[in-house]
Amino acid sequence: MSNRTTLTEFLLLGFSDVRELQILHFMMFLVIYLAALMGNLLILTAIALNPHFQPSLYLFPVNLSILDLGSISVTIPKSIANFLMNTRVISYPGCVTQVFLFILFTAADFALLTIMAYDRYVAICQPLHYESIMDRGACVHMAASAWITGIVYASLHTGNTFRLPFCQSNVINQFFCEIPQLLKLACSDLYLSEVGLLAFSVFLCLNCFVFIIVSYVQIFKIVLRILSEQGRRKAFSTCLPHLIVVYLLLCTGLFEYMKPSSSSASGLDLMVAVLSSVVPLVMNPIIYSMRNKEIKATLKKLIVRRLFTNKKNVHH
């Protein structure tokens, strides 16, 4: 592999060479993927069937669900196919596509979670102005800005990474194409520019995290002044799902990228990678949208209506 022109494929790290364990991993990943798919599709269905939601109550959860579905669909189906066919190969264009889409969805996801912290701040700290500040136009612009952020970041990182010549090996010590692992294969000092860009990205993420923390400090100051216990509980229940999602995403991400790197990945490294890139995406619909009373009520109506229709058909 003297340079990238001769590199046509990469080899992803397998979880095991034992065929029985590969089938087990195939089943586990399939269940995880179907759970994420069903959870997010239920939320999208509930929102589509209820036209009376406020803009922030449907636009942000809809975009979050689409981003989560996209992010998990970039990595898991390829792994499932590899487990099933007992192969580790991913083509060069496939790897480029995987890197681009994974960064796009992840960056847009984090940008949207930051926007949602501002939405919670306005809802609780400026309730009288909420309708005018967070109207449909503002929510659309905010959601669009999250997607644009993802596209710009993905373009920068993907272009910066794949202009490098890869000559160390074609084996990626990860179950999907990931920039830190790809940089280990580079045989040029140009990879330092991508390291700098990654460091700048971490800096921006920390700024977003500080913004979220400051927003919630202001929110909790207001909430603690609420006299009625019911009012405080309602305010906390509104904020808690969003805080849990942010905490889960940040903690798993930091654990993945701050742990000591090794030249060869271990089983622990792979489990940490699954934890950081898959688990938050499965948990998001459960934690965030399923705690939303309007969405839960719509889902209940949908299920009851479906059961009632089925019973009528059986009687007829």
What is the domain partition of the chain in residue ranges? Answer: 4-305
Residue type, 193: S
- List, in sequence order, the alpha helices (H) in 86-127: 92-125
Strand, coil or helix: 60: helix
Q: What is the mean pLDDT of residues 18-40?
A: 85
150 or 312, higher pLDDT: 150
Residue type, 121: Y
Asked if the model's pLDDT at residue 105 lies above 70, the reply is yes
Q: What order do you get walking across the sheet with 89-91 strand by strand?
A: 89-91, 9-12, 171-172
Instruction: From 300, 283, 243, 298, select the one nearest 124 (Cα to Cα).
Output: 243
Among the residue ranges 63-67, 263-267, 302-306, 309-313, the one predicted with the least confidence is 263-267
pLDDT bin (cut points 50, 70, 90) of residue 42 is: confident
Q: The whole model's pTM is what?
A: 0.82
**pLDDT digits over 134-145, tens only?**
888 888 999 999
Among the residue ranges 92-101, 105-114, 120-129, 296-305, the one predicted with the least confidence is 296-305
pLDDT bin (cut points 50, 70, 90) of residue 108 is: very high
Among the residue ranges 10-19, 87-96, 244-253, the one predicted with the least confidence is 244-253
What DSSP letter does each residue of 169-182 carry, written as one string? Answer: -SEESSSS--HHHH
CA distances from 183 to 56, 84, 158, 198, 294 (A): 39, 28, 12, 11, 46
Per-residue pLDDT, 242:
74
Q: Spell out where the chain has E strands.
A: 9-12, 89-91, 171-172
Asked if the model's pLDDT at residue 3 lies above 50, the reply is no
Asked if the model's pLDDT at residue 1 lies above 80, the reply is no
DSSP bridge pairs for 11: 89, 171
Among the residue ranges 54-58, 169-173, 179-183, 274-278, the one predicted with the least confidence is 54-58
Question: Measured between alpha carbons, how far is 206 from 286 in angstroms, rounded to an integer?
Answer: 25
Q: Which two tokens stand for residue 5?
A: 């022109």
The arrangement of secondary structure in 4-305, i.e. its CATH architecture, is Up-down Bundle (1.20)
Asked if the model's pLDDT at residue 262 lies above 50, the reply is yes
What DSSP letter does each residue of 24-61 carry, written as one string? Answer: HHHHHHHHHHHHHHHHHHHHHHHHHH-TTS-HHHHHHH
Among the residue ranges 11-15, 239-243, 262-266, the one predicted with the least confidence is 262-266
Per-residue pLDDT, 245:
75
Strand, coil or helix: 166: strand
DSSP bridge pairs for 166: 186
Per-residue pLDDT, 269:
63
**pLDDT digits over 206-253, tens only?**
888 889 889 888 888 888 887 677 777 777 776 777 777 777 777 766
Helix and strand totals (H; E) in the chain: 11, 3
Mean of the per-residue pLDDT values of the chain: 79
